[in-house]
Structure 1
Amino acid sequence: MTQSTSLPTGAADAADPRPRSSARQLMAASIGNAAEWYDWYAYSFLAVYFADRVFPKGSGNSLVPLLSTFAVFAVGFFMRPVGGLQMGAIADRRGRRAALTVTILLMGGGSLLVALTPTYAAAGVLAPVVLVVARLIQGLSVGGEFAASTTFLVESAGPGRRGLFSSFQYVSTTLGQLLASGIATLLAHVLTEEQMGGWGWRVPFLIGAVISLVGFWIRQGARETHEVERRTDARPALFEALRRHPRESLLICGITAGGTLAYYTWTTYLPTYAQVNTGFDKGDALLAGTISLAFFAALQPLGGLLSDRVGRKPLLIGFAVGFAALAVPLLHAISDTFVSLLLVQCAGMILLTGYTSIAAAVNAEVFPARVRAAGIGFPYSLTVALFGGTAPYLATWLKQSGHPEAFPWYVSGLCLVSACVYLVLPETAQRPLDR
């Protein structure tokens, strides 16, 4: 049996001379992660502004450019399993910090490429090609980011604090999303519709490229949490986690399915859902999303702390059962009023915290340290691609097909499937983490 190569207790300082500092570790993971997800989410928030600039309209149907833009959004997600596997392997073979450095540089490059994407009128088919390439680069980066930062955060935690540290995965993710939403909202209120469609949508992506450079610099000061095997032939193979731990890989898929669909529906697509289904004002929809995201970020540490006390399963089951029962009435409750959208978003955020605040800890506790990053990265990113990345496109397509009522039932049903997985999931909160 292959012995784990992760740092045993007390070995961190021998492997990395940087001082032990929980705050510094949290900052290194969180700021870089926020930069990653700012770049990723800026695309979905601004899609309604640049869709018809990059994609031509088809036979008078105004939803065609938006559908095409969300299709590219989904394409980016399908690079995430590749990124999860490749960057996860780098994290297991060369250390978590090395993988985190690569992912932040890839994301910054992809963001810059989106900002420089030409319009269809200026470059023809080259315009959507450039956009697709940029999203593929970003998808590779984001897939690797979750694998590396999840293991880095949880391995940096002290005894009885894995849930709390885990919550900073989505605190930083939400802060990045909040920054993207806030900048998009500010631009939407300051600039005219014509200015936003002409050049305003490019500004957030340029800002994202700069933020990624800052995140890269901060991550250089992080302390490594995983001791790398010196002999190259003794390091884990690319598919070792899948070969030796097939049950754990399937478990990650079941844990993630309902959570990722609910997450991307509530935190990313809901403003667009309100615009498409109720004629909601674009600027007001972005403002409601920004307020609810700030509320969501504040909830995450509370969920993490609670899970360290009562366990992971009660929170997971509460999330899944809550969404299975309430997804349909909540989405049907959205009207053309600002208050209705804000209340629906905040109600969903409370339920969603049962999953997001502890997802990193639950995933990390499933795999041994030797293959933890790659073991998490591939099945998690594949599941997110299948169910999270396709959510905006599927919801928009159902609206175009005349069946908008089907999407809320889809969310409810998949959360029910995950609820069944959570019921048989072993409780891991009090178990020592494999080192």
Structure 2
Amino acid sequence: MHANNNNAASSDIRNLTNRQRIRAILGACSGNLVEWYDFFIYAYTSIYFAALFFPQGDQTTQLLATAGIFAVGFFMRPLGGWIFGYLADTRGRRFSMIISVFLMCGGSLMIAVLPTYESVGMAAPVLLLIARLMQGLSVGAEYGTGATYISEVSSTGKRCFFGSFQYFTIIAGQLLALLTVVVLQNVLALDELKAWGWRIPFLIGAVSALVVVYLRRSMLETAHAKDSKHKEAGSIKALMRHKKAVLLTMAITAGCSLHFYTFSTYMQKYLVVSAGFDPATVSVIMTAALIVFMCLQPVYGMLADRIGSRNSMIAFGVLSSVFIVPLLSGLKNVSNPYEAFALVMGGLLIAAFYTPVTGVLKADLYPATVRALGVGLPYAIGNALCGGTAEYVALMLRGAGVESIFYYYVAAMSAITLLAAVLMPDLRKHGYLDGSGAVEENTGWRSSPGYTSARN
């Protein structure tokens, strides 16, 4: 039955109208929105609950502890990318995405009802860590499978435009988390927020995840039965035949994710602890910036369809490498909220060159038999190493009195992403979605002797 369902679904996918494709993508992205809301709400509420789980030390020490647990959640992503990439390549994209939402629901519900350090001692931060590990596993599953699904359901010449909706809903989830905090800041007193109000957003996320499970049950499947039943579908051994694609995926992810988390989650704290703004003002600044950033995703996606995903990624690499240091230096010394907004927006406008294309670009590097695994696992490793540790590294360097080193670190990782983009072939000609599938042979360094491509 599974094979027959896959064959029918694949046939339906090839004959979809643009309107039907958009509906399918929005169905996938509804879960994306909820999962990233749940994941980001931790970053935005940690400033309120940090002292409840880590009562020792000053504010920076407490935030450093919660940032450490935020980073540890990222280190579950490779495991999530591996397990759910295998499931998506062998059991179907829809099956993998439904299970991942269940995991996120459980993690959010757990955080919402956690006892504090005062009640259970060291068990409190341990339980918080376990909940974040569950959420990290879920997000590791969501990105790779979601990017694969969207790339497969989209049409030639519009893949970056359709792909932009993945980051549109990632940002929407982040924005929804931020707006939830803004509402709570205006409804509850600071003492109430610190005592129990911070739990409300996690309860909202858990309930929303159950709604998404229902919506995803009706999604069309994009995986072909012959690919899912292939003897090496979803295997690490098969993935390692695409070593160059794996390295490119990790290198691209490293700089992109570090840049993104610097100007999104960490910026919420950076403007408070380094620039001296109060949390409520920072929430307004970041809300406005993220709204503009979110609305620009389809625009940049259409631009990338015209110039090519590789060229769009090169533009990001150049701009981030050159401007990241002056942007972060300027933000540290800014005192006017409008100037702060302009500088944050500058960083996000640079990020917009990669956000609409990154999922489709990575999916284009792999054949269908290992596509979800190829997108999910290398991405999760690069994201864990650089994106997930962004806050921790920044706060650690700040605590050591050398905060500016972080600026150059971000610039250096963006330069690595630039190098990877330059070495990457033109995927419109050589990618697996619309090209020849000869990615390995057309990278900017020599192929291994005897290597041959398997076009799927």
Task: Tell me the TM-score normalized by structure 1.
Answer: 0.94
- Aligned match of 1:133: 130
CA distance in 2, matches of 1:326, 1:233: 46
Structure 1 position 396, deviation (Å): 0.7
Query: How many residues are matched?
Result: 428
For 1:154 and 1:99, the matched residues in 2 are separated by 16
Q: What is aligned with 1:201?
A: 198
Give the direction of change, closer, same or farther, for the CA distance of 1:95–1:237 in structure 2 (3 Å limit).
closer
Query: Could you say which residue in structure 1 is the equivalent of 2:271?
Result: 274
Q: How does 1:14-413 map to 2 (within 5 A)?
A: 21-58=20-57, 61-229=58-226, 234=231, 236-334=233-331, 335-413=334-412
Asked if structure 2 preserves the Cα contact closer than 8 Å seen for 1:156 and 1:225, the reply is yes
Say if 2:85 and 2:234, in contact at 8 Å, map to a contact too: no
**Cα gap change, 1:232 to 1:157, in 2 (>3 Å):** closer
Deviation at 1:155?
0.1
Distance 1:344 1:12, change over 3 A: same
Q: Please give the secondary structure, in 2, of the residue aligned with 1:355.
A: coil
Distance 2:383 2:341 in 1: 25
Distance in 2 between residues matched to 1:20 and 1:356, nearest whole Å: 23
Please give the root-mean-square deviation of Cα atoms over the aligned residues, in Å. 2.3
- The 2-side partners of 1:241 and 1:36 are apart by 29
Matched-pair contact (CA < 8 Å) for 2:77–2:137: yes
Gap runs ≥5 in structure 1: none
- Residue 219 of structure 2: SS of its match in structure 1? coil
By how many angstroms is 1:336 displaced?
A: 3.1
Q: Structure 2: which 5+ runs fail to align? A: 438-455
**In 2, Cα distance between the equivalents of 1:225 and 1:301?**
23
1-side partners of 2:111 and 2:243: how far apart?
A: 37
Q: Is the 8 A contact 1:308 1:429 kept in 2?
A: no
Residues 6 and 227 in structure 1, CA contact (< 8 A), matched pair in contact too? no
**1:179-237 C-alpha deviation (Å, 9 max, x unpaired):** 00000111122221111100111000000011111111111111000023499672525
Per-residue CA deviations over 1:226-280 (Å, capped at 9, x if unaligned) read 0234996725253134322112111101111110100011111102011111221
Change (3 A) 1:275 1:160: same
Q: What is the letter of the counterpart of residue 156 of structure 2?
A: P
Does the aligned pair in 2 maintain the 1:241–1:374 contact within 8 Å? no
Counterparts in 2 of 1:10 and 1:209: CA distance versus 1, 3 Å: closer
Q: Encode CA deviations 1:271-303: one digit per residue, 9 max, x unaligned.
A: 201111122101111111111111111111111
Residues in 1 aligned to 2:163 and 2:15: alpha-carbon distance in whole angstroms:
22
Shift, 1:21, TM fit: 2.0
- Report SS of the residue matched to 2:312: helix
State the distance in 1 between where 2:59 and 2:307 align.
50
> Deviation of residue 413 (structure 1)?
1.2
Could you tell me which residue of structure 2 aligns to residue 422 of structure 1?
421
Partners of 1:338 and 1:76 lie apart in 2 by 32
Distance 2:15 2:55 in 1: 53
Name the TM-score, length of structure 2 as normaliser: 0.89
Rounded to whole Å, the distance in 1 between the matches of 2:159 and 2:14 is: 22
Percent identical = 38
Range with greater deviation from structure 2 (233-242 or 295-304):
233-242
For 2:230 and 2:291, locate their aligned partners in 1 and report how far apart those are by CA, in whole Å: 47
